Amino acid sequence: VSCQKRSLTPSLQYLTIVALLFLVFGAILTIESDNSDAEKGDKFTIDGIKYEIIEEGNVNEVSILKVDESMENYSGNGTVTYNDVTYNITSIGENAFKYCKFLTSVTIPENVSWIDNFAFHDCSSLSSVTIPEGVSWIGTSAFELCTSLASLTILSEDLRIEHHAFLFCEGLKEL
């Protein structure tokens, strides 16, 4: 029995090398894509606050979707960092703080321009809210049934307030 050593033709050697390179670089690209930045529509939770990415790229923006109902105070700094990317908090989503019975005070971050419908609905212990200059819209029933609300500071001069936004805020004597 004799064994002959076979060598690959140059074109077959070239194809083998190219195939191996595709395998190696393909694996590297797959690993990198698993760690990529989040995309528009992605959701993440940090410190009991759930966010949704609403813009990405040069302007990274998130909306607050939902908070832990046991939260007592909220005074966001206007940004949140996720996967080494800093996002501006630009809106408070529908029902985000709804039924937070222990929430007593809220300072809306400076970057926020939008407070959605029912955002703080039935936060019965909420007594103090500060709305910054940048807020341009407060949605329907946003603060409805915040029966303890006694102090409301609105710094925005160009603000649209939808119907029932402060309905049944019995502690609030004037706007």
Segment 140-168 shows an average pLDDT of: 96
DSSP 52: E
Per-residue pLDDT band for 173 (boundaries 50, 70, 90) equals confident
Pair 145, 124: CB distance under 8 Å = yes
CA distances from 132 to 30, 139, 154 (A): 43, 15, 6
Name the amino acid, one letter, at 84: D
Pair 46, 76: CB distance under 8 Å = no
Q: Which of 32-36, 124-128, 158-162 has the lowest mean pLDDT?
A: 32-36
Tokens linked to 24: 């190696």
Query: Quick check: pTM over 0.85?
Result: no
Tokens linked to 4: 């002959």
Return the closest-CA partner of residue 169 out of 140, 149, 139: 149
Segment 50-70 shows an average pLDDT of: 92
Per-residue pLDDT at 17? 67
Per-residue pLDDT at 59? 85
Per-residue pLDDT at 95? 98
Give the span between the Cα atoms of 46 and 102, in whole angstroms: 19
Per-residue pLDDT at 33? 35
Longest dimension (CA), the chain: 105
pLDDT at 96 over 90: yes
CA distances from 19 to 6, 23, 24, 38 (A): 20, 6, 9, 31
Pair 116, 93: CB distance under 8 Å = yes
Per-residue pLDDT at 12? 62
Give the span between the Cα atoms of 164 and 135, in whole angstroms: 18
Place of tokens 């029912």: 118
Pair 120, 143: CB distance under 8 Å = yes
Per-residue pLDDT band for 114 (boundaries 50, 70, 90) equals very high
Pair 64, 80: CB distance under 8 Å = no
